[in-house]
Amino acid sequence: MKIYLKLTILLFLVTVSLSCTNSQPKKTVTQSGEINLVTPLEFKNKLENNTLIDIRTPLEFKQGHIEGAVNINMYDKDFLEKVSIYKTSEPIFIYCRSGNRTSAASRKMAKIGFTEIYDLNGGITNWFKNKLKIVK
């Protein structure tokens, strides 16, 4: 009887651990385009000659940011107005500290017409963990 209980628990744990891997989609398709959740290395490789927006607060931005980033605070009332100066048909790259704010910002930007949004998975924290350059 003990062996059946141990096997049942083991099977349960294996099932739970396998179902938790890759739980976050890499791409979300919206009515107007795509939101791509990418790793720091993918983000860096695709970034060249594209618009990069840091949606953190100005204080967070001053503490360190990815080179070439423009700071547009997501908490500003005119956030969407500020990002709308960029072409909605061109790729746009966004990041925050941990990836939480970019999830909401990406959806808002897709609603106003951005068709190709790249969201840095894990934010600048994950960028830094991957030993990628930050400027101050």
Q: Please write the tens of the pLDDT for every residue from 34-74.
A: 999 999 999 999 999 999 999 999 999 999 999 999 999 99
CATH number of 80's domain: 3.40.250.10
CA max distance for the chain: 68
Q: With respect to residue 105, please indicate whether it lies within any of the assigned structural domains.
A: yes
Q: Classify the phi-psi angles of 113: left when phi > 0, otherwise alpha if psi is within -120 to 50, otherwise beta.
A: left
Range of the domain at 99: 23-129
Question: Against a cut of 0.85, is the pTM above it?
Answer: no
Distance in angstroms (rounded) separating the CA atoms of residues 104 and 107? 5
Reported as a pLDDT band with limits 50, 70 and 90, residue 6 is low
Contact between 51 and 92 (Cβ < 8 Å): yes
Catalytic residue IDs: 96
- Number of domains observed in the structure of the chain: 1
How far is residue 49 CA from its own chain's centroid?
19
Q: With respect to residue 33, please indicate whether it lies within any of the assigned structural domains.
A: yes
Q: With respect to residue 5, please indicate whether it lies within any of the assigned structural domains.
A: no
pLDDT in the model for residue 13: 47
Q: Is 80 helix (H, G, I), strand (E, B) or coil?
A: helix
